[in-house]
Amino acid sequence: MGHTFTIAHLSDVHLPPPQLPSLRELNAKRLLGVVNWFWRRRPHHTVRTTQLLLADLAAQRPDHVAVTGDLVNLGLESEVVAARHWLSHVGPPEEVSVVPGNHDIYTDPGAGACLAAWSSYMAGSASGAESAGGARFPYVRRLGHVAIVGLNSALPTPPFRAFGEIGHGQRALLATLLDQLEREGAVRVVLIHHPPLPGLAKPDSALRDADQLADVLRRHGAELVLHGHNHRAMSTMLDFPNGRSSVIGVPSASIAVAHGQQTPAAYNLYRIKADRQQPIEMITRRITASADGFEEIGRVALGSQVDA
Ligand SMILES: [Fe+2]
Ligand SMILES: [Fe+2]
């Protein structure tokens, strides 16, 4: 009964585009995205930082890795293919769960390319649904006493907008799944790119149905909700009838040095016991000040925490 399942959580890798958009792929949003990448993002998001993170992650030997979106920048076919290759270095599809971010499902044409290319990393273990050229959401993966529930909050948006939405269909199914998993005694871990609760992101880049999603979580419960998108560490607690959710965001996995509100690369390890009453231990590992490796910077017991 003493088995502990360890999930690592990283996000917002923003891998460099291997090539510029083709004429067929080009539109106003991608043109602005290219400018944004070269002038604002490229200096901060470095491949070396991500390589150091993955080396440290491998040494920690987690049982599973959660990647909460924004693997790429412009949602191009070439990026999505490169990111699929990168994912194979993170681990095999059975050991890595991915949900898409707003930069993965960025704009048309090609908004669904990542869903097809990464579908094995978003496939549910118990789902009978065929993934015909794409993944179905929410997906559920049962991993021993842990259940991962993946949501898709990404949709094509106009220029300068990075909002998300999971919609009524996913919310309704999520409610049913959370109840079912609760009856099965699973520790429920929900993955979503956008911060899932109201007030956690700027209006232009927030989840549009955060109020409704918070309501589902408040009624049906999930032990852990992991997100990205803000490129900094965040932590909020949410009470549900039989317990308390820890809603935790991680910084980008590729930023070596803080700039603006965005903090240096870090990832979290969650040590999850089979007994849901036991707190989940969260260990944070961050890039060192000299940017030559990662080190542990904190260890907390979730579930018994007062709001941070
Ligand atoms: Fe991001
Ligand atoms: Fe994002």
Kindly give the distance from the C-alpha atom of residue 216 to the centroid of ligand 2, in angstroms, as a whole number. 22
H-state helical runs in 167-301: 167-183, 210-220
Report pLDDT for 101.
Answer: 98
Number of domains in the chain: 1
pLDDT tens, position by position, 210-241:
999 999 999 999 999 999 999 999 999 999 99
Which residues make Cβ contacts (< 8 Å) with residue 4, sequence separation at least 6? Answer: 271, 272, 273
- What pLDDT does residue 276 have? 84
Distance 218 CA to ligand 2 centre (A): 24
pLDDT tens readout for residues 8-25:
999 999 999 999 999 999
Parent domain of 186: 9-302
Q: How far is the CA of 260 from the centre of ligand 2 (A)?
A: 16
Q: Report pTM.
A: 0.96
Pairing of the two strands 243-249 and 234-240? antiparallel
Return the pLDDT at 304: 54
State whether residue 297 is helix, strand or coil: strand
Instruction: Say which DSSP state 116 is in.
Output: H
Distance (Å) from CA 267 to ligand 2 centroid: 16
- Considering every ligand atom, which ligand is closest to the CA of 195? 2
Measured from the alpha carbon of residue 99, the closest ligand is 2
Please list all protein residues whose beta carbon sits less than 5 angstroms from ligand 2, which is an ion.
70, 101-102, 229
**Predicted confidence (pLDDT) at residue 2 exceeds the cutoff of 80:** no
The CATH number given to whatever domain includes residue 285 is 3.60.21.10
Answer whether residue 307 is part of any domain.
no
Lookup: tokens for 105: 């499902």
Residue-wise pLDDT for 114-172, tens only, equals 999 999 999 986 554 444 446 789 999 999 999 999 999 999 999 999 999 999 999 99
Per-residue pLDDT tens digits for 269-304: 999 999 888 999 999 999 999 999 999 999 999 975
Average pLDDT, the chain: 93
CA atoms within 13 A on the CB side of 243: 20
What is the whole-number distance in angstroms between the Cα of residue 67 and the centre of ligand 2?
Answer: 12
Residue 61 C-beta-side C-alpha neighbours within 13 Å: 1
CA of residue 280 to ligand 2 center, whole Å = 26
Is 101 within a domain?
yes
Query: What would the pLDDT profile of 35-47 be if each residue is shown by its tens digit?
Result: 999 999 999 999 9
Asked whether residue 308 is assigned to any structural domain, the reply reads no
The per-residue pLDDT for range 68-123, each reduced to its tens digit, is: 999 999 999 999 999 999 999 999 999 999 999 999 999 999 998 999 999 999 99
Query: Distance from the CA of 71 to the center of ligand 2, in angstroms?
Result: 9
Provide the Cα torsion 221, 285, 59, 195; round to 10°: 40
User: Of the ligands numbered here, which is closest to the C-alpha atom of 102?
Assistant: 2
Does residue 257 sit within a domain?
Answer: yes
Residue 151 lies in a domain: yes
Q: What is the pLDDT of residue 242?
A: 87
Render 205-237 in DSSP notation, one character per residue: GSBTTHHHHHHHHHHH--SEEEE-SSSS-EEEE
CA of residue 230 to ligand 1 center, whole Å: 7
* pLDDT range class, residue 195, cuts 50, 70, 90: very high
Residue 186 lies in a domain: yes
Q: Is the dihedral of CA 211, 215, 216, 218 positive or negative?
A: positive
Lateral strand order in the sheet of 243-249: 139-143, 146-150, 187-191, 224-227, 243-249, 234-240
Question: Looking at the domain assignment, is residue 2 inside a domain?
Answer: no
Alpha carbon of 228 to ligand 1 centroid (Å) = 7
Residues with Cβ within 8 Å of 98's Cβ and at least 6 positions away in sequence, in order, are 67, 68, 69, 71, 87, 118, 121, 122, 150
DSSP 2-63: --EEEEEEE----PPPSSPPPTTT--HHHHHHHHHIIIIITTTB-HHHHHHHHHHHHHH--S
pLDDT of residue 134: 67
Q: How far is CA 228 from CA 21, 23, 59, 153, in A?
A: 25, 31, 23, 11
Which structure tokens are listed for 24?
């067929």
Answer whether residue 64 is part of any domain.
yes
Task: Say if residues 301 and 279 touch (Cβ distance below 8 Å).
Answer: yes
Please give the structure tokens belonging to residue 12.
């917002």
**Which pLDDT score, from 0 to 100, does residue 239 have?**
96
Ligand 2 centroid – CA 48 distance (Å): 21
> What pLDDT shows up at residue 132?
40
CA separation for the pair 241, 222 (Å, rounded): 11
Find residue 283's DSSP bridge partners.
269, 299
Tokens 């994912």 belong to 87
Compute the distance from residue 229 Cα to the ligand 2 centre, in Å: 4
Residue 157 C-alpha to ligand 1 middle, in angstroms?
14
pLDDT at 146: 97
Query: What string of DSSP letters covers 48-102?
Result: HHHHHHHHHHHHH--SEEEE-S--SSS--HHHHHHHHHHHHHH--GGGEEE---T
